[in-house]
Amino acid sequence: MPTAALIIIGNEILSGKFADENGPYLVPRLRQLGCDLGRIVVIPDEPDVIAREVRACSEAFTHVFTSGGVGPTHDDVTFPSVALAFGVPVVRHPTLEAILRSRLGDACNDAALRMAEIPEGADLWWDGLVRYPLIVMKNVAIFPGVPALFKLKFEAVAHRFAGEPVSTERVWTSLTEPEIADCLTEAAGRWPGVAIGSYPRFELTPPKVLVTLESRDLAALAAGAAFVRAGIADVD
Amino acid sequence: MPTAALIIIGNEILSGKFADENGPYLVPRLRQLGCDLGRIVVIPDEPDVIAREVRACSEAFTHVFTSGGVGPTHDDVTFPSVALAFGVPVVRHPTLEAILRSRLGDACNDAALRMAEIPEGADLWWDGLVRYPLIVMKNVAIFPGVPALFKLKFEAVAHRFAGEPVSTERVWTSLTEPEIADCLTEAAGRWPGVAIGSYPRFELTPPKVLVTLESRDLAALAAGAAFVRAGIADVD
């Protein structure tokens, strides 16, 4: 099954000037697509930090998505940082340069053309006949950080990341976590292909615990859920 | 100045069962305290992954905060993972054991006592006379993931992380990013102690760009902001 990591690049998120909206958008969307999100990281606009994170995620996950840092100003360093991650230079791509010149006319200065300077060997994805392609270096898809653009670009290429969706069973109990721990440990051991999570909801009165079971193996999921339900369920 | 990293541990965040609330709480709070947040990472309940992240963050930042994975069930693996990060065993702490036995009575089974099994050498912080101490291993403060508890625990010890707050100046312009890029690059070069960010707001009509300048050096901040304002500001 495909796995993914999301790298959110931007001092503005870490300093609280803007709340990240792309993580909250992507989490349920990848779930729906059946692509297993294994890591989200928010890092500053620093080439060394970005390059190290991109390189590590590229090796560990099927797909890597970056968000932010692709504009024309001095704080937009994602393209050179991804290039650094893979040990290649940035090169001005003639297709991107032509689009920018045609769109911006006389306003297409050197700063604007930095948006056309991408890692050598990167691919352009034109899915959905978008006006400007997505830039992808190996398994790293480089998205803009502006939420409306991130969403537009992601939806155009989302089909490329699809796997088989995971199914979930939920079991509620008014027992405490220490009381249900042995049952869950036994279930986790008997059905290793089923991921079991336990989430106390102290804010409910009386408190309850939500237990979730998740798997792509529907038979194992049903058997595990029946076992847990018989062991601990006492509320709906 | 103190720096910090936040490590959010939990499959439930990555799979979208729960939205993380602790990051959004901590970001403005650390800003207010004058502690520079340099990294937020969301990782699964996997000891090797957690240990690697904790070790790297412990070396790179003044303070590390973990969120989640400290309960009594099989998916709560933060204490042993932090122990693994520092190459020490977990040991049952007599003070924690006594608190749990007194609080839970006959319900204090082996599962509950896992909450007393912490990395060897960890400190207990009792700030604010809380009923249950915060467990801290070297510079890694281990917080519960439940948002109400995270907040309660964090506020009790927040004073330990305080530095000098950063000041911010905001400049709005209706010029485009390519048009302001040279001015910002020049300002960034002239006032290296001032962090300058540029954020296009395409959703506004007409579109505008928000430029922020941030520093602890108030004289440099004022000079840099005056320069940028003179160069690009044309709207309030």
Is pLDDT larger for residue B130 or for residue B102? B102
Q: Please count the other Cβ atoms lying within 10 Å of the Cβ belonging to residue A87.
A: 10
B150, two tokens = 């995270």
> Residue A108 has what DSSP assignment?
-
> What pLDDT score was predicted for residue B236?
62
Distance from CA of A181 to the nearest CA of B (A): 5
With CB atoms and an 8 Å threshold, state whether B15 touches A185: no
Residues 6+ apart with CB under 8 A from B105: none
The CA-atom distances, in angstroms, between A117 and each of A42, A94, A98, B60, B196 are 24, 9, 12, 31, 22
Beta strands in chain B, from DSSP E residues, in sequence order: 3-9, 36-43, 63-67, 90-92, 117-119, 123-125, 134-137, 140-143, 167-173, 195-201, 208-215
**B111–A41: do the CB atoms touch at under 8 Å?**
no
Q: SS in 3 state form for B67-103?
A: ECCCCCCCCCCHHHHHHHHHCCCEEECHHHHHHHHHH
User: Can you give the pLDDT at residue B166?
Assistant: 96
pLDDT of residue B69: 97
Is the per-residue pLDDT at A235 higher than 90?
no
Domain at B3-161, CATH class = alpha beta
Say if CB A143 and CB A65 are below 8 A apart: yes
CB-defined contacts A:B, below 8 A: 166
Contacts of A110 (CB under 8 A, 6+ apart): none
Residues of B with Cβ-Cβ distance to A180 under 8 angstroms: 73
Residue A206: asked if its preceding bond is cis (omega within 30°), the reply is yes
Distances in Å between the Cα of B119 and the Cα atoms of A83, A199, B8, B78, B127 are 40, 23, 19, 10, 20
Chain B contact probe: residue of A6, A7, A15, A209 with most B CBs at under 10 A? A15
Mean pLDDT score across all residues of chain B: 95
Q: What integer pLDDT is reported at residue B32 of this predicted model?
A: 97
pLDDT digit string (tens) for A133-174? 999 999 999 999 999 999 999 999 999 999 999 999 999 999
> Does the distance separating the beta carbons of A14 and B199 come in below 8 Å?
no
With 0-12 / 13-18 / 19 or more C-beta atoms within 10 angstroms meaning exposed / middle / buried, residue B177 is buried
Which residue type does B77 have?
Answer: V
Per residue, what are the HEC states of A34-65?
CCEEEEEEEECCCHHHHHHHHHHHHHHCCEEE
Interface probe, candidates B35, B41, B55, B74, chain A, greatest A C-beta count within 10 A: B74
Verify cis geometry, omega within 30 degrees of 0, for the bond prior to B206: yes
For CA atoms B204, B209, B214, B220, give the dihedral sign. negative
Q: How far does A111 lie from chain B, in Å, by closest CA?
A: 5
Most confident of A53-57, A102-106, B206-210: A53-57
How far is B27 from chain A, CA to nearest CA, in Å? 6
Q: Which residues of A fall within a CB distance of 8 Å from B184?
A: 73-75
**pLDDT value at position A205?**
86
**Residue B97 corresponds to which amino acid?**
E
Mean pLDDT confidence for A197-201: 94
Beta carbons within 10 angstroms of residue B112's beta carbon: 21
pLDDT at residue B73 is higher than 80: yes
Helix (H) or strand (E) holding B183: helix B177-190
Of the candidates B28, B184, B202, the beta carbon closest to that of A74 is on: B184
